[in-house]
Chains A and B, each alone.
Chain A
Amino acid sequence: MSGPPFVPIHPGRPLPLADLPELDPAAFREAVVLGVGAGQRLACLCADAELRLYAVLADDGQGRLRAGCTQLASPSYPSLTPACPQAHLFERELAEQFGIVPVGHPWFKPVRSHASWAPGRDAWGRREPPEPGVIDFYRVKGGEIHEVAVGPVHAGVIEPGHFRFQCHGEKVFHLEIALGYQHRGLERALAGGPHPLSLKMAETAAGDTTIAHTWAYCRILEGLAGRTTSSRAEWARGLALELERMANHTGDLGALAGDVGFLPTASFCGRIRGEWLNLTAEVCGSRLGRNWLRPGGVAAEIEPARARAMAERVARAWADTRDAVELLWGATSVLNRFEAAGPLEPAQARELGLVGVPARACGIRLDVRHDHPHGPYLEHPMLPALAQSGNVHSRAWVRWLELNASHGFLKAALERLAQAPEEPRAAPLGPLAPASLCVALVEGWRGEVLHLAVTDAGGRFLRYKLVDPSFHNWSGLALALRGEQISDFPLINKSFNLSYCGHDL
C-alpha cells in the first residue's frame, strides 16, 4: 500500500484533524478497497463543501474503527463502487449533495431529489430543481413483462416512497426503490451547528428511533467537549435504547403476523407495543423518548422508587409479549409463510454492507453493543442474535431473540438504577474541540446508527453526517424481492421495516 494508511479512531472520542493524514486520492481509494476486501465494512463515506472525502472503515470482529480522508483537486474522482459495492449509495449521496462526480459509477442516480448544496455545481448537470421519483428506472424488456409502480402514497399509515417492480406474471424480476419524499434537509441544517434545534433534529431524524439517534448525537457532542458521562446516566440511556427496541420489535412481530393473516399475535402485539412505549413515557413524558437524553447526561431522572415500579411493569409487559409472540412459533401456517418468503444471500448482504436485523438474519455477526461496546454494554455484554436463512422467518426470529436479551438488560438496568443514588443533572457542555473528527455508533433497533462530525477552527460543525441503518439496508430489501411473488412484497417489506425519513433525512 502506498502512502500512510487509515488511522484508528475511537467512537465518541475526537481525533484532531492534524492527526488524520490527508491521503492522495489513489491511496484513499486503495485503503478503502483493500480494507473492505479484507473483510472490513465501509461504515461511512461522505464529502464536505471543500471537496474533502472522509471514510470510516469498521473492523467489527476486532472492535476497531479506522478513518481516512482525501482532498480532491476537482469535483470528480474514479468511483469506488465497481470495486467496492458498499460505496454505491454513499457515492450517489455525495454526488447529489456536493456535485462531486464518481466517474464510472454503475448506477448513477440521485438519492433524495434535492438541489446540490454547492451552488452552480450539479453532478448531473441539471439546471431545474429535480423532481422526486423521476429517474431513469431500470427496465426489463419483453412482451410478457409488466411494470408495477407503487407510491409515493401507500395503502396504509406509512411513510412515502416509490417502488418500481419489473414483473413476469406474479414473479418479480427486479425492484427499484426511489426515495427522497421525506427529505427535510437535516444534514444541511446541522452544518454550522450545534444550533438550538440540532438536538430536536437528532430526536426526529427517525421518530421511531429517537433514542438511538439522540444517543449518537450526545456521544458526538460529549466526545468533542471532552465530557465523560456518569455510569448512572449511561445505564439510563441503555434502558431507553432497549425499551425502544422492545416497543419496535414487538410491533414488528405483530405486524408480520398481521401480514400473514395471523390475527391473535397481530392484535395482542399492537396493544403490548403501547405498554413498552408507555414505560418510556413514564421516565420522560413522551412515548417516543423525546426529552429523555441530553448532551452531558439525561434530562429525566429515574428515582429508585420509579425504577422499582417500572421493573414490575416490565415484568407484566414481558409476560404479555412472550405469550403473544410464542404463538407464532407454534402456528404452522405462519412458519410456512415466513420460511418461504424473502431470502437474502449472506454473500450479497455482506457485499452490500447490510447492518442490524437483516444482516444478523443472514448469520453475519454484527452488533455495535458487542463489537464496539460503550457505556452499560461494557458491563452487561450483549451477544449478536443470529439466524442463518436470511428469510422473513430469520428476520422475525432475530427480533424474538433480541427481545429476550433486551428484557434481560432492562431487568439489570432497573435493578442498578433502583440501587444507585440519584444524581444532580449534568452541567451544560463546554465548547467543542476545534478542527476535529468524531464518530459515534449506537445499535438502534433497526441496526447501526452512525453519526460523524467534523468541526471547523471555531468548534462548529463543518460537516455533520447521519447514517441510519435504513440507508445501508434498503438495497437489501430490493434484492430480497428478486424471484419472489409481488403479492409477498408487504410481508417482505415488513420483515425489513426500514425507515423512509431516516434514509431521506
Chain B
Amino acid sequence: MIHVLLSRWRQGRRTLAYPRTLPALPERYRGRPVLRAGACAETCRSCVKACPTSAIVFGPGGPRMDLGRCLFCPDCQEACPEGAITFSDDHAMAVRRRADLVLAPDREAVLAEALDAAMMRVLGRSLKLRVVSAGGCNGCEVDVNVLGTLAWDLGRFGIQFVASPRHADALLLCGPVTANMELAVRKTYEAMPAPKLVLAVGACAISGGPYLHQEEQLGGAASVLPVDLFIPGCPPHPLTILDGLLRLLGRLPGAG
C-alpha cells in the first residue's frame, strides 16, 4: 500500500487544464491547413497530383481542400512550389455539415455550432457515447479511447463511454463502414433510444479515407446514417475530438 501511495505522490496530478489553457502540441503537428489565395501559377496542379486521396480540387481562387478526405500528410505542402498550402497548429476542425469541411482560400472557415435548445436540454449536461469501429485501423479508436485517461478525464465534461447502445445518446463511428459491418452499425443505431446523434471521427468515417476506392467499404458513416458531427483527421488528435464534442455541447468559452 505504501508503494502505491508513494507512486501516487511521484506521479502527481496530471489532468490537463484544458479548456482553460491549451495543452502544448508537438512542433510538427499538422492541424487545419491554411490556403493562400492568388499564389498559384496558372497551370500548376502539383498539390492536386500529390494528394493520395484526391482531397484537393482546383477552383477559381486556388486549391480547395476537402478535410473529410485529407489524411494530414505533408505531401501537398511539400509539392507546392509557392507555399500556398501550409498546415497550421490549429486543432479545431469539427463541423456539423459535410460541405463545411471543404476549405477554400477565399472562404471563412466554419466550425461546428452547438446543438439546438431542445437537444441541449436533453444532452447538454450528459452525453453518453457508444463507440463502434466499422473498419477503423484502431488509430481513431485509440485516440478516442485516450480521452478516457486521467490526462483528458472526459468524465469531467459529463461525457462518458457506455457499453450498451441502450444507454447511449450518440454513436461515435470510426472506420469507412465496411460492408461486413453495415448490419452491425445499423442495428447499433436502431438499439439507441431517441433523441440520438451520430458522430463521424476520422477520414475513413467521413469519406472512406485511404480505402475510398475499395468496394469492401461503403464510404463512411453518412452512407448508412445521418451524421451530426464530422471530426476530420487521420487520426484526429485527441484535442480535435474533444474540441468537437465540446463545441457540439456549447461548452467551449467563446464558441458556438
| Chain A contacts to B: CB under 8 angstroms | 112-114, 129, 132, 152-153, 155-160, 180-186, 188-189, 196-197, 199-201, 203-208, 210, 264, 267-268, 270-271, 273-274, 278, 281-288, 290-291, 299-300, 320, 323-324, 327, 330, 499-501
Nearest Cβ on chain A to B182's Cβ, whole angstroms: 10
Contacts of A200 in B (CB 8 A): 52-53, 71, 73, 210
Interface residue? B22 (CB, 8 A) = no
- A-facing residues in B179-237 (Cβ within 8 Å): 179-181, 184, 188, 209-211, 213-217, 234-235, 237
Q: A271's contact among B29, B151, B217, by CB below 8 Å, is which?
A: B151
| Contact yes or no, B7 A270, CB < 8 A | no
Known: A157-B144, A288-B142, A290-B71; 7 extra A-B contacts, CB below 8 A, are A155-B164, A157-B161, A186-B211, A281-B26, A285-B29, A285-B74, A323-B11
- A-facing residues in B134-149 (Cβ within 8 Å): 134-146, 148-149
Knowing A159-B136, A197-B210, A204-B210 touch, does A282 contact B28 (C-beta < 8 A)? yes
Q: A160's contact among B132, B137, B150, by CB below 8 Å, is which?
A: B132
Number of interface residues of B (CB under 8 A): 61
Interface residue? B20 (CB, 8 A) = no
Contacts of A189 in B (CB 8 A): 211, 213-214
Which A residue sits closest to B29, measured CB to CB?
A: A285
| Contact yes or no, B142 A183, CB < 8 A | no
Contacts of A210 in B (CB 8 A): 139
Q: A196's contact among B52, B140, B234, by CB below 8 Å, is which?
A: B52
| Contact yes or no, B188 A153, CB < 8 A | yes
| Contact yes or no, B53 A132, CB < 8 A | no
Interface residue? B17 (CB, 8 A) = no
Nearest Cβ on chain A to B152's Cβ, whole angstroms: 9
Name which of A152, A206, A208, A323 has the most chain B CB atoms within 10 A of its CB: A152
| Contact yes or no, A206 B137, CB < 8 A | yes
Knowing A183-B180, A208-B138, A324-B11 touch, does A264 contact B4 (C-beta < 8 A)? yes
Knowing A270-B149, A274-B146 touch, does A155 contact B28 (C-beta < 8 A)? no
Name which of A204, A283, A288 has the most chain B CB atoms within 10 A of its CB: A204
Which B residue sits closest to A280, measured CB to CB?
A: B26
Knowing A153-B188, A282-B27, A300-B28 touch, does A500 contact B150 (C-beta < 8 A)? no
Interface residue? B109 (CB, 8 A) = no
| Contact yes or no, A183 B210, CB < 8 A | no
**Could you name 18 residue pairs across A and B whose Cβ atoms are closer than 8 Å?**
A113-B180, A157-B144, A181-B135, A181-B181, A181-B184, A182-B181, A189-B211, A206-B137, A207-B136, A207-B139, A210-B139, A268-B7, A270-B146, A271-B149, A282-B28, A285-B26, A290-B73, A300-B28
- How many inter-chain contacts with C-beta < 8 Å in the A-B complex? 176
Knowing A208-B142, A285-B26 touch, does A160 contact B71 (C-beta < 8 A)? no
Contacts of A114 in B (CB 8 A): 180, 216
| Contact yes or no, B3 A330, CB < 8 A | yes
CA–CA, A258 to B52, complex, Å? Answer: 40
Contacts of A186 in B (CB 8 A): 211
Q: A181's contact among B30, B73, B180, by CB below 8 Å, is which?
A: B180
Name which of A157, A201, A264, A268 has the most chain B CB atoms within 10 A of its CB: A157
Q: A152's contact among B28, B141, B151, B181, by CB below 8 Å, is which?
A: B181
Contacts of B178 in A (CB 8 A): 181-184
Nearest Cβ on chain B to A286's Cβ, whole angstroms: 8
Nearest Cβ on chain B to A328's Cβ, whole angstroms: 11
Interface residue? B62 (CB, 8 A) = no
Contacts of B132 in A (CB 8 A): 153, 160
Interface residue? B8 (CB, 8 A) = yes
Contacts of A500 in B (CB 8 A): 133, 138
Q: A155's contact among B7, B135, B163, B175, by CB below 8 Å, is which?
A: B163
Interface residue? B156 (CB, 8 A) = no
Which A residue sits closest to B26, measured CB to CB?
A: A281
Q: B214's contact among A158, A185, A205, A284, by CB below 8 Å, is which?
A: A185
| Contact yes or no, B7 A264, CB < 8 A | yes
Contacts of A204 in B (CB 8 A): 137, 139, 209-210, 234
CA–CA, A205 to B210, complex, Å? Answer: 10
| Contact yes or no, A283 B28, CB < 8 A | yes
Which B residue sits closest to A247, measured CB to CB?
A: B142
Interface residue? B176 (CB, 8 A) = yes
| Contact yes or no, B163 A156, CB < 8 A | yes
Which B residue sits closest to A291, measured CB to CB?
A: B73
Contacts of B184 in A (CB 8 A): 152-153, 160, 181
Contacts of A499 in B (CB 8 A): 138
CA–CA, A51 to B164, complex, Å? Answer: 46
Nearest Cβ on chain B to A327's Cβ, whole angstroms: 6
CA–CA, A129 to B179, complex, Å? Answer: 10
CA–CA, A152 to B134, complex, Å? Answer: 10
